[in-house]
Amino acid sequence: MYQLLKRKSRGDVWFDIINNILLTLVMLLVLFPLYFVLIASFSDPNYIYSGEVWLFPKGFTLDGYERIFSDSSIWIGYVNSILYATLGTIIGVAVTVFAAYPLARKNLVGKSVIMWFLMITMFFSGGLIPTYLLIKDLHMLNTIWALVIPGAGGVFNVIIVRTFFQSSIPDEMWEAASIDGCSNTRFFWSIVLPLSKSILAVMVLYHVVGFWNGFFDALIYLNDENKYPLQLVLRNILVQNQVNSGMMIDVESYAAKMRVTELIKYGVIIVSSLPLLILYPFLQKYFVKGVMIGSIKG
Amino acid sequence: MNSRTSGLDHSIIKPNRKRWRRVKRDYELYLFLLPIIILYLVFKYYPMYGVQIAFKDFTPSKGIWGSEWVGFQHFIDFFNSYNFWTIITNTLSLSFLSLLFSFPAPIIIAIMLNQMLGKRYKKFVQTVIYAPHFISTVVLVGMLNVFLSPNSGIVNHMITWFGGEPILFMANEGWFRPLYILSGLWQETGFSTIIYLAALAGVNPELHEAAIMDGASKWKRVWNVDIPSILPTIVILLILALGNVMSIGFEKAFLMQSDLNYAASNIIPTYVYEMGIQKAQYSFSTAVGLFNSVVNIILIVTVNWIAKKMTETSLW
pLDDT tens digits, B263-287:
999 999 999 999 999 999 999 999 9
- Is B298 in CB contact (< 8 Å) with chain A? no
Tell me the shortest Cα–Cα distance from B128 to chain A, in angstroms: 7
> ipTM score here?
0.91
pLDDT tens digits, B98-115:
999 999 999 999 999 999
pLDDT tens digits, B221-257:
999 999 999 998 898 888 878 877 777 678 999 999 9
pLDDT tens digits, B287-312:
999 999 898 888 888 888 888 887 77
CA dist B289 → A127, B90, B275, B292 (Å): 6, 15, 11, 5
Structure confidence at residue A138 (pLDDT): 95
Structure confidence at residue A144 (pLDDT): 94
Contact list, A54 vs chain B (CB under 8 Å): 154
Average pLDDT for B84-105: 93
Q: Which stretch of A225-229, A282-286, B38-42, B250-254 has the lowest confidence by average pLDDT? A: A282-286
Average pLDDT for A209-230: 93
Check pLDDT > 60 for residue B5.
Answer: no
Number of continuous H segments (helices) and E segments (strands) in chain A: 15, 0
Structure confidence at residue A267 (pLDDT): 93
Spatial distance between the Cα atoms of A211 and A86, rounded to a whole number of angstroms: 9
Structure confidence at residue B313 (pLDDT): 72
Structure confidence at residue A257 (pLDDT): 82
Structure confidence at residue B1 (pLDDT): 42
Structure confidence at residue B14 (pLDDT): 64
Query: Predicted confidence band at A293 (pLDDT cuts at 50, 70, 90)?
Result: confident
> For B294, which residue in chain A has the nearest alpha carbon?
A124
Check pLDDT > 80 for residue A85.
Answer: yes
Check pLDDT > 60 for residue B214.
Answer: yes
> For B106, which residue in chain A has the nearest alpha carbon?
A26
Spatial distance between the Cα atoms of B158 and A249, rounded to a whole number of angstroms: 32
Check pLDDT > 50 for residue A1.
Answer: no
Contact yes or no for B152 and A125 at CB 8 A? no
CA dist B265 → A58, A143, A175, B86 (Å): 37, 31, 57, 10
Q: Closest by alpha carbon to B283, among B52, B79, B45?
A: B52
Instruction: Name B68's bridge partners.
Output: B57
- Is B151 in CB contact (< 8 Å) with chain A? yes
- Is B231 in CB contact (< 8 Å) with chain A? no
Spatial distance between the Cα atoms of A66 and A79, rounded to a whole number of angstroms: 18
Question: Which of B28, B44, B51, B114 is most worth mutating to test chain A (most A CB atoms within 10 A of its CB)?
Answer: B44
Structure confidence at residue A287 (pLDDT): 86
Query: Predicted confidence band at A241 (pLDDT cuts at 50, 70, 90)?
Result: confident
Between β-strands B68-69 and B56-57, what pairing exists: parallel, antiparallel or unpaired? antiparallel
Average pLDDT for B72-87: 94
Structure confidence at residue A6 (pLDDT): 57
Contact list, A31 vs chain B (CB under 8 Å): 128
Contact list, B304 vs chain A (CB under 8 Å): none
Tell me the shortest Cα–Cα distance from A32 to chain B, in angstroms: 10
Structure confidence at residue B77 (pLDDT): 94
Q: How far is CA A275 from the centre of its chain?
A: 11
Contact list, A239 vs chain B (CB under 8 Å): 138, 141-142, 145, 255
**Contact between B303 and B316 (Cβ < 8 Å):** no
Q: How far is CA A164 from the centre of its chain?
A: 21
- Is B118 in CB contact (< 8 Å) with chain A? yes
Structure confidence at residue B17 (pLDDT): 80
- Is B94 in CB contact (< 8 Å) with chain A? no
Contact yes or no for B47 and A126 at CB 8 A? yes
Tell me the shortest Cα–Cα distance from A298 to chain B, in angstroms: 12
pLDDT tens digits, A90-120:
999 999 999 999 999 988 999 999 999 998 8
Q: Could you tell me how many CB contacts below 8 A there are between chain A and chain B? A: 266
Residues 6+ apart with CB under 8 A from B11: none
**Contact between A88 and A236 (Cβ < 8 Å):** no
Tell me the shortest Cα–Cα distance from A147 to chain B, in angstroms: 12
Q: Closest by alpha carbon to A278, among B131, B125, B122, B133?
A: B131
Q: Could you say which of A54, A124, A153 has the minimum Cβ distance to residue B36?
A: A153
Half-sphere exposure of B186 (CA within 13 A, CB side): 19
Check pLDDT > 80 for residue B64.
Answer: yes
- Is B33 in CB contact (< 8 Å) with chain A? yes
Spatial distance between the Cα atoms of B259 and B242, rounded to a whole number of angstroms: 29
Structure confidence at residue A242 (pLDDT): 81
Query: Predicted confidence band at B13 (pLDDT cuts at 50, 70, 90)?
Result: low
Average pLDDT for A34-61: 89
Q: Pick the more confident residue, A259 or B265.
A: B265
DSSP A117-169: HHHHHHH----HHHHHHHHHHTT-TTSTHHHHSTT-S-HHHHHHHHHHHHHHS
Q: Could you say which of B39, B44, B190 has the minimum Cβ distance to residue A125?
A: B44
Query: Predicted confidence band at A296 (pLDDT cuts at 50, 70, 90)?
Result: low
DSSP secondary-structure letter at A248? G
Query: Predicted confidence band at B152 (pLDDT cuts at 50, 70, 90)?
Result: confident
Q: Which stretch of A267-271, B72-76, B232-236 has the lowest confidence by average pLDDT? A: B232-236
Residue B29, burial from CB neighbour count under 10 angstroms (0-12, 13-18, 19+): buried
Tell me the shortest Cα–Cα distance from B82 to chain A, in angstroms: 23
Residues 266-285 of B with CB under 8 A from A: 272-273, 276-277, 282, 285
**Contact between A45 and A262 (Cβ < 8 Å):** yes
> For B142, which residue in chain A has the nearest alpha carbon?
A238
Contact yes or no for B136 and A231 at CB 8 A? yes
- Give the Cα-Cα-Cα angle A195, B39, B247 (nearest 5 degrees): 95
Query: Predicted confidence band at A77 (pLDDT cuts at 50, 70, 90)?
Result: very high
Spatial distance between the Cα atoms of A287 and A86, rounded to a whole number of angstroms: 19
Spatial distance between the Cα atoms of B48 and A127, rounded to a whole number of angstroms: 8
| HEC per residue, chain B | CHHHHHHHHHHHHHHHHHHHHHHHHCHHHHHHHHHHHHHHHHHHHHHHHHHHHHHEECCCCCHHHHCEECCCHHHHHHHHCCCHHHHHHHHHHHHHHHHHHHCHHHHHHHHHHHHCCCHHHHHHHHHHHHHHHHCCHHHHHHHHHHHHCCCCCHHHHHHHHCCCCCCCHHHCHHHHHHHHHHHHHHHHHHHHHHHHHHHHHCCCHHHHHHHHHCCCCHHHHHHHHHHHHHHHHHHHHHHHHHHCHHHCCHHHHHHHCCCCCHHHHCCHHHHHHHHHHHCCCHHHHHHHHHHHHHHHHHHHHHHHHHHHHHHCCCCC
Task: Kindly state the percentage of chain B with pLDDT values over 90.
Answer: 58
Contact yes or no for B219 and A15 at CB 8 A? yes
Question: Which of B24, B57, B136 is most worth mutating to test chain A (most A CB atoms within 10 A of its CB)?
Answer: B136
Residues 6+ apart with CB under 8 A from B307: B235, B238, B239, B313, B314
Check pLDDT > 50 for residue B3.
Answer: no
Q: Closest by alpha carbon to B146, among A253, A237, A62, A213?
A: A237
Average pLDDT for A245-261: 80
Contact yes or no for A134 and B218 at CB 8 A? no
Spatial distance between the Cα atoms of B36 and B39, rounded to a whole number of angstroms: 5
pLDDT tens digits, B126-148:
999 999 999 999 999 999 999 99
